[in-house]
A and B are shown apart, each in its own frame.
Chain A
Amino acid sequence: MTESIRLTTPLKTSDLEKLHIGDRVFISGMLYSTRDAAHLRLFQLLAENKPLPFDIQGHIIYYMGPSPARPGKPIGAAGPTSSYRMDAYAPALIARGLKGMIGKGARNQAVKDAMKRYRAVYFAAIGGAGALISKCILSSEVIAYPELGTEAVRRLKVESFPVLVANDVHGRDLYEEGIKAYAC
Chain B
Amino acid sequence: MREIPVENITRAIRDLSIRANTDLGADVLDAFHRSLETETSPVGKEILERLIENAAIAHQEKIPICQDTGMAVVFVEMGQDVHVVGGDLKEAIHEGVRQGYRDGYLRKSVCHPLSRQNTGDNTPAIIHFDVVAGDGFKLVVTPKGFGSENMSRVTMLAPAEGFSGIRNYVVNRVKAAGPNPCPPTTIGVGIGGTLERAAFLAKKALLRPLGSENPDPELAALEKDWLQEINRLGIGPQGLGGRTTALGVHIIAAPCHIASISLAVNIQCHASRHKEIAL
Q: Which residues of A approach B to under 8 Å, CB–CB?
A: 1, 22, 37, 64-70, 76-79, 81-82, 84, 104-106, 124, 126-132, 134-135, 149-150, 164, 166, 174-175, 177-184
Contacts and interface: CB of A to CB of B under 8 A. Distances in A.
A129 B238 CA distance: 11
Nearest to A150: B107
B241 A181 contact: yes
Contact of A150 (B55, B109, B242): B109
A132 B53 contact: yes
11 contacts: A1-B46, A67-B107, A76-B107, A77-B66, A104-B179, A105-B147, A106-B179, A124-B240, A150-B67, A150-B107, A178-B240
B43 A1 contact: yes
Interface in B9-64: 40-44, 46-47, 50-51, 53-55, 57-58, 61-64
A77 B64 contact: yes
A132 B116 CA distance: 29
A65, A179, A183 — most chain B CB neighbours (10 Å): A179
B72 interface: no
Interface of B: 40-44, 46-47, 50-51, 53-55, 57-58, 61-69, 105-109, 116, 118, 120, 145, 147, 150, 178-180, 182, 232-236, 238-243, 269-271
A105, A126, A130, A177 — most chain B CB neighbours (10 Å): A130
Contacts of A77: 58, 63-67, 69, 107
A178 to B, nearest CB: 3
B97 to A, nearest CB: 15
The DSSP consensus for interface residues of chain B is: loop
Contacts of A131: 54-55, 57-58, 61, 63-65
Contacts of A149: 108, 118, 120
B109 A132 contact: no
A1 B239 contact: no
A106 B51 contact: no
A5 to B, nearest CB: 16
7 closest residue pairs by CB, A with B: A178-B241, A183-B234, A182-B234, A131-B58, A77-B67, A132-B54, A127-B182
A137 to B, nearest CB: 11
B227 to A, nearest CB: 14
Given A77-B63, A128-B54, A184-B232, A22 B147 contact: no
Given A106-B179, A129-B51, A67 B65 contact: no
Contact of B180 (A67, A84, A164): A84
A131 B107 CA distance: 13
Contacts of B235: 179, 182
B63 A183 contact: no
A77 B65 CA distance: 7
Contacts of B242: 178, 182
B41 A128 contact: no
Given A79-B67, A84-B180, A182 B41 contact: yes
A129 B147 contact: no
Given A124-B240, A174-B240, 8 more contacts: A65-B109, A67-B106, A77-B65, A79-B68, A126-B47, A131-B54, A178-B242, A180-B234
B65 A82 contact: no
A81, A131, A150, A175 — most chain B CB neighbours (10 Å): A131
Nearest to B244: A182
Nearest to B43: A1
B68 to A, nearest CB: 7
B41 A66 contact: no
Contact of B105 (A22, A65, A68, A124): A68
Contact of B67 (A65, A70, A126, A178): A65
